[in-house]
Amino acid sequence: MVGKNIKKFRTAKQMTQDELAQQLNVTRQAVSNWENGKTQPDIETLHKIAEILDVTIEELIYGAKQTTTIVKNTTVQNATKGLSFGAALAMVISYVNWHSIGWAIFHGLLNWVYVIYYVLRYGWNG
């Protein structure tokens, strides 16, 4: 993996194996062996390669940096909407059945008690 990354970053900088080898004071065969996975550069050489290719050691080892994007947690938002709808629905059904606003409020609150219990016991992801 390291060798493939060295080759990828070297070619991206339009650098030959000879040019990289000269800057590292090693032979072209050494660079070729790294890139073909026959050998691995030591940590000091890896650090020098990273400096020459303008990348981090982590990029040489693991590949290009992964760009992370922040995605709104729509699951939690949708769950909150669903829970609110459920509480409202419980209140409406209670009022229609018993014709009492007190029972409607009671069942709405009871729904939220159940929701809180469920979240505490199982978490948002179930």
Q: What is the CATH number of the domain that holds 10?
A: 1.10.260.40
The larger pLDDT score, comparing residue 51 to residue 108, is at 51
The whole domain housing 80 covers 74-122
Domain boundary (10, 39, 62) is at 62
Cα angle 105, 107, 111; round to 5 = 115
84 and 114 within one domain: yes
Q: Is residue 69 part of a domain?
A: no
- Report the C-alpha gap between 30 and 5 in whole angstroms: 15
Please check whether residues 81 and 43 belong to one and the same domain: no
pLDDT tens figures, 67-104? 555 555 565 566 666 666 776 777 777 777 777 777 77
Can you tell me the distance from the alpha carbon of 92 to that of 121, in angstroms, rounded to the nearest whole number? Answer: 27
Read off the pLDDT of residues 16-54 as tens digits, 9 standing for 90 and up.
999 999 999 999 999 999 999 999 998 899 999 999 999
Instruction: Decide if pLDDT at 66 tops 70.
Output: no
Number of domains in the chain: 2
pLDDT of 62 reads 86
- Are 12 and 49 in a shared domain? yes
The pTM of this model reads: 0.52
pLDDT for the residue numbered 100 = 76
Q: How many CB atoms lie within 10 A of CB 104?
A: 20
